[in-house]
């Protein structure tokens, strides 16, 4: 609420905070600039896979380390959590109980595994939340229908925030969330995607031979019968209004660019909703 133009940064901090707590059992104590740097590095990595000559000429790794110009940035990173774990002062976490206790790989591999869990686990929810936000702009009638359902359950006067106990009474909100996740196991060209795998909106239903209205954001397809992201998205829709702050293209989501992925104006619904959101 204090920085509405940084809505995309708030999405990333939320996702990182959850994964950081699971993996290291410590809160995220990083500035916005540091998190933005992590997001930028992650995006650069994802968009540069198989684009580096080092990947195609692995023999370069045998050169003297002083010639490994790509290593210096990562060698400068010495996380406090790593030092605490090695000194035996770490709290119970994935790093302490899985990586350091049972893992038999090298220290660099352990570091990579830890960061992979945080970065991969946080970047997908970030993109999912940003994609859902674009859906708020592109399909306001659908989001209004979901909000009306939230108001019937949690009260239009901001009595309380939605929670997981409300799932049975919020079928349409659940359908809105499911419209961007996989809800059944999928076998595709030799690959298996388990239920719960996150995809961008309509990545699965876009098949004109198999699904009705494949190119539309249409939550009703899931009403026949996901807790993933339900809490975050339902509370955002319950408390905030979304409107375009410029021209938008719902097929251009800007996941890997710098800055705001698309122009968005975020406002709190009412003073009562503001008090409720701050309190909780």
Delimit the domains of the chain by residue range: 4-122, 129-279
Query: What's the pLDDT at 45?
Result: 63
Query: What's the pLDDT at 66?
Result: 81
Query: What's the pLDDT at 82?
Result: 55
Query: What's the pLDDT at 201?
Result: 44
Query: What's the pLDDT at 32?
Result: 75
pLDDT tens, N- to C-terminus, the chain (280 residues): 677 777 888 887 887 777 777 776 777 777 777 777 777 767 666 666 655 666 667 787 788 878 877 666 455 544 544 555 555 555 566 555 555 566 566 767 666 666 677 766 677 788 888 888 888 898 899 899 999 999 999 998 888 999 889 988 998 888 887 765 555 677 777 878 776 665 544 444 455 555 566 667 676 665 544 555 778 888 899 999 999 999 988 878 777 676 788 889 999 999 999 999 888 7
Does the predicted TM-score (pTM) go above 0.75? no
Q: What is the 3-state secondary structure (H, E, C) of the chain?
A: CCCHHHHHHHHHHHHHHHHHHHHHCCCCCCCHHHHHHHHHHHHHHHHCCCCCHHHHCHHHHHCCHHHCCCCHHHHCCCCHHHHHHHCCCCCCCHHHHHHHHHCCCCHHHHHHHHHHHHHHHHHHHHHHHHHHHHHHHHCHHHHHHHHHHHHHHHCCCCCCCCCHHHHHHCHHHHHHHHCCECCCCEEECCEEECCCCECCCCCCCCCCCCCCCCCCCCHHHHCCCCCCCHHHHHHHHHHEEEEECCCCCCCCCCCCCCCCCCCEEEEECCHHHHHHHHHC
CATH code given to domain 129-279: 1.10.630.10
């Amino acid at each position: 609420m204090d920085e509405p133009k940084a809505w995309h940064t708030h999405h990333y901090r939320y996702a990182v905070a959850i994964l950081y707590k699971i993996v290291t059992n410590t809160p995220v104590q990083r500035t916005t600039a540091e998190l933005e740097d992590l997001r930028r590095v992650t995006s650069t990595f994802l968009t540069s896979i198989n684009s580096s000559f080092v990947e195609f000429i692995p023999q370069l790794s045998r050169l003297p380390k002083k010639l490994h110009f790509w290593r210096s940035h990562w060698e400068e990173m010495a996380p406090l959590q790593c030092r605490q774990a090695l000194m035996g002062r770490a709290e119970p976490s994935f790093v302490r109980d899985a990586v350091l206790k049972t893992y038999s790989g090298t220290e660099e591999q352990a570091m990579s595994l830890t960061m992979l869990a945080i970065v991969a686990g946080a970047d997908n929810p970030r993109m999912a939340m940003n994609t859902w936000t674009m859906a708020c702009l592109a399909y306001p009638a659908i989001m209004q229908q979901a909000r009306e359902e939230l108001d019937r359950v949690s009260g239009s006067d901001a009595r309380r925030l939605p929670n997981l106990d409300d799932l049975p009474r919020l079928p349409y909100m659940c359908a809105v969330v499911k419209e961007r996740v996989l809800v059944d196991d999928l076998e595709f060209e030799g690959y298996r995607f388990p239920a719960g795998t996150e995809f961008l909106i309509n990545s699965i239903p876009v098949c004109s031979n198999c699904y009705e209205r494949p190119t539309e954001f249409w939550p009703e397809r899931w009403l026949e019968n996901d807790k993933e992201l339900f809490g975050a998205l339902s509370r955002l829709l319950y408390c905030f209004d979304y409107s375009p702050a410029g021209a938008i293209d719902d097929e251009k989501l800007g996941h890997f660019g710098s800055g705001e992925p698309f122009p968005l104006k975020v406002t709190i619904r009412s003073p009562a909703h503001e008090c409720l959101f701050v309190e909780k």
